[in-house]
Amino acid sequence: MTDAVRLEAVDLCAGYEGRRILDGISLRFLPGRITSIVGGNASGKSTLLRTLARVLYPMDGRVLLDGRSIHATRSRDVARAVGLLPQSPTAPEGITVRDLVGRGRHPHRGIFTSWTARDTEVVANALNLTGMADLSEREIDTLSGGQRQRAWIAMALTQETDLLLLDEPTTFLDIAHQIDVLDLLVDLNRMRGTTIVMVLHDLNLAARYSDHLVAIADGEIHVEGTPRKVLTESHVRAVFGLESRIVTDPVSGGPTMIPIGRHHSGRAEKATGTHS
Amino acid sequence: MTEIAQLPVRITAERRAGLASSGLGVVVAALFALTLVCGQGCAPLPEVAAALLGRDVPGTSFLVQELRLPRALLSLVTGICFGLGGVAFQIMLRNPLASPDIIGISAGAGTAAVFAIVVLSLDGPIVSLVAVLSGLAVALAIWGLSSGRSAAGARLILVGIGISAMLDSVTSYMLLDAQAWDRAEAMRWLTGSVNGARLDQVWPVAAALVFFGGLLAGTARDLDILRLGDDTAAGLGVRPDFTRLRVTLAAVGLVAFATAAAGPIAFVAFLAGPIAARITKGRARLPSAAAMGAILVLGGDFAGQFLLPVRLPVGVVTGALGAPFLLCLIVRANRAGGNL
C-alpha cells in the first residue's frame, strides 16, 4: 500500500545552525489516520514537524509528498496539500476572526485575483465546523485561548488540505479546552478524512486521541505503533526517564500512564506488591 | 442571530474605511490642483486647465507648464514613493519606527548624493544612480550589522538610527567645505525640497514608481501573510526570506529614487503609513499610505510656500510635523508596542 502514503520521511536529518537535532528519521503517515509525535523537551519533535511542513530544510534525507520531495516542490503547491498550525502562532493586532480565517485561502489565490464566492463559502464552512461563526466579527485579541486556537484551526481548514500538521495545538489551554480542541480534530478526521499529524505534550491525551504514536528520543525514533504498543512502562522510562504504571483507561479502554514520582513510589510499590 | 446583528456593523466599518481611502484620493487631487493654481498670485482654474492642455495663455502657460506642473508632479510621485517605501518597511518589520528615513536608508542615499555633487562634481542622472546604490548598500549594512535571530527586532532600528546619525554628520561636514553654488544644490539633501523642480527630475522617479511599486504590489499579499509569523506564512506557501528580499528591494528602490530627486523629505516615509492606518482603520495599507505620502508632500510644500510667514522647503515643514509624532510614538511604544 505504499502508493496510498501521501507524506513520508526518508532518513531525515535536520537541525538549526549546524547543530543536528534529528538523526535519520524514517516515517510514513498513513492517510486518514491521526498520528501523534511524543517525546521529552528538546527531543526534536517540533523540529520533525517543522521539517515535514517544509518550514525547515533538512540537512540530509528527504520528505516526500506523493513520492516527490517537498523541498523540490513549489511552496504554494505544498501549501495546497499540507496545512500547518505552528506552536503558539501570532495574529496581527486588531484582526478579526473572519479576516484571519480568510488568510488560509492564500495558497489558492493568484497575486491579483479577487476574493471569490467560493472563498467566502469555504470560510463560512470552516467557521461553522469550528463553532466560530458567532464570533467571526470579533477581534482575535478579545477571545479566550481556546477560542483563539479554534480560529487558527479554522484558518488551517480553509486551506483545504487533506493533511494537517499541528505543533502542540493544546499548549496554554486548560484541560476542558484541550479536550475541546482534540475532539474537534477527531471530528475533522472522521468527517473529512483529514490526515492529522501533531506534536503533543500530554502522553495520555496522545494515547487517547491517536491511531498511531511516534515516540522520539534524542532525535531518533525510539518506538512507533499503536498506543497499546508504545505506551509501556519500559518505553516511558526510556523516552522520558520516568517511572510509571500503565493502566487501562476506564473511559476508552486504551492504555493510560500514571507517573510515579519520588514522593509516591513507596505506596505504588506497596500497592502493586499486594496485588501481585 | 449574532451574525445577523453584527452584519451591519461590519458593513459600515468597511464602508467607512472605503470612504476614508477614496477621501484620501480626493484630497490628493485637490492639493495637486491647488499647487497648479496658486503661486505668486492665483491663476483662475479654467486658465490653468487651458495651459495644461497646451493652449497658449499669456503669463499662465509659462507659470503652469514650466514651474508649477513639474513641482506638483515631483511632489506627487516622491510623496507616493516615500509613503509606499515607508509603510512597506513598517509592515515587514512590524514596527512603525522601522521606516527607511529613521533607520538611515534615506540618509545613505542623501549622503552619497552630496558626496557625488560636492566632492565628485557630478550632476544629473548619475547622482540619482549613486544615491540609489548607496541606499541599497546602507540597507544591506544595517541588515548585516543587526543580523541574528531577531533581525526584525529593536536591534535593527537602533543600528539604523546610529548609522543615520553618522551619515548625517558626514553630509554636514561635506557641506561645510563645499563651494557656494554646490552648497545651494546640496542643501536640498539635508532637508528635502521640491523648489525649482524640473520635468526631467520627475521621469526617473515615475519610472521607479512603476517598477518598484509594481514589485511591491505583486508582493503585497505575501507581505500581509508574513504578519502571521514566519512559520504560519511558510505553511501557507509564502517564502519568508524571499518575500522580505523583494519587499526590501522595492522599498529601498522607491525611497532612494525619490530621495535622489527631492532629497530626504523629512519624515514622510515615517508618517504616511501610521496616519493613513489611523484614518482608514487599518485597511488597504499600501494604497492609503501612498495617498497619505502624496498629501504630506503636496500639503507640506503648499504650507511652506504660502501659509507660513517665511517661505520654507517642504522638508522643514514635514520635519516640524514629524518630530513631535516620533516622540509621541517612542513614548507610547514603551507602554504598549507599535500597532502597525
Q: Quick check: B231 and A84 CB within 8 A?
A: yes
- The proportion of chain A whose per-residue pLDDT surpasses 90, expressed as a percent, equals 68
CATH number of B13-335: 1.10.3470.10
Q: For residues A158-170, give the mean pLDDT.
A: 93
Nearest CA in chain B to A105: B236
Task: Give the nearest partner residue to A103 out of B10, B225, B282, using CB atoms.
Answer: B225
Interface of A with B in 34-53 (CB under 8 A): 50, 53
What is the pLDDT, as a whole number, of residue A4?
A: 65
> In this predicted complex, what is the ipTM?
0.86
Best residue in B223, B231, B241 for a mutation probing chain A (most A CBs within 10 Å):
B231
Q: Inform me whether the pLDDT recorded for B110 exceeds 60.
A: yes
pLDDT band at A152 (very low <50, low <70, confident <90, very high): very high
User: B59 or A231: whose pLDDT is higher?
Assistant: A231
Q: Which of B318, B315, B322, B321 is nearest to B187 (CA)?
A: B315
What is the pLDDT, as a whole number, of residue B5?
A: 41
Q: Inform me whether the pLDDT recorded for B97 exceeds 80.
A: yes
- 3-class SS at B115? helix
- 3-class SS at A64? strand
Q: Which of B287, B10, B312, B236 is nearest to A98 (CA)?
A: B10
Q: Quick check: B236 and A79 CB within 8 A?
A: yes
Best residue in A78, A82, A84 for a mutation probing chain B (most B CBs within 10 Å):
A84
Tens of pLDDT, residue by residue over A82-98, are 999 998 888 888 889 99
pLDDT band at A136 (very low <50, low <70, confident <90, very high): very high
pLDDT band at B2 (very low <50, low <70, confident <90, very high): very low
Ranges A13-22, A150-159, B113-122, most confident:
A150-159
What is the pLDDT, as a whole number, of residue A224?
A: 95
What is the pLDDT, as a whole number, of residue B1?
A: 38
Whether the CB of A91 is below 8 Å from some CB of chain B: the reply is: yes
Task: Give the nearest partner residue to B234 out of A55, A91, A156, using CB atoms.
Answer: A55
Tens of pLDDT, residue by residue over A45-79, are 999 999 999 999 899 999 999 889 998 899 999 99
Cα dihedral B102, B106, B107, B108 sign: positive
Q: Quick check: B237 and A53 CB within 8 A?
A: no
Q: Quick check: A111 and B228 CB within 8 A?
A: no
Domain boundaries, given as residue ranges, for chain B: 13-335
Nearest CA in chain B to A110: B221
Instruction: Count Cα neighbours of B25 within 13 Å in the Cβ-side half-sphere.
Output: 8
Distance CA A164, CA A161 (A): 7
Q: Quick check: B237 and A111 CB within 8 A?
A: no
Q: How many residue pairs from chains A and B have C-beta atoms closer than 8 A? A: 75
Q: Quick check: A84 and B230 CB within 8 A?
A: no
What is the pLDDT, as a whole number, of residue A240?
A: 92
What is the pLDDT, as a whole number, of residue B334?
A: 55
Task: Give the nearest partner residue to B236 out of A77, A106, A112, using CB atoms.
Answer: A106
Q: Inform me whether the pLDDT recorded for B200 exceeds 90.
A: no
User: B11 or A42: whose pLDDT is higher?
Assistant: A42
Q: Inform me whether the pLDDT recorded for B331 exceeds 50.
A: yes
Q: Inform me whether the pLDDT recorded for A220 exceeds 60.
A: yes
Q: Inform me whether the pLDDT recorded for A2 exceeds 50.
A: no
Residue B3: list chain A partners with CB under 8 A.
133-134, 136-137
What is the pLDDT, as a whole number, of residue A265?
A: 66
What is the pLDDT, as a whole number, of residue A273?
A: 42
Can you read off the three cell numbers belonging to residue A268? 505504588
Q: Please list the residues that pair with A195 across neighbouring strands.
A: A163
Helices (H), A57-173: 75-81, 97-102, 117-129, 145-158
Tens of pLDDT, residue by residue over B211-262, are 999 999 999 999 999 889 889 999 999 998 889 889 988 999 999 889 888 8
- Those residues of chain B whose CB sits closer than 8 Å to some CB in chain A are 2-3, 6, 9-10, 218, 221, 224-225, 227-232, 234-239, 282, 339
Mean of per-residue pLDDT scores for chain B: 83
Tens of pLDDT, residue by residue over B8-49, are 444 555 666 678 778 899 999 999 988 888 876 677 777 777
- State the pTM of this model: 0.84
Tens of pLDDT, residue by residue over A186-204, are 999 999 899 999 999 999 9
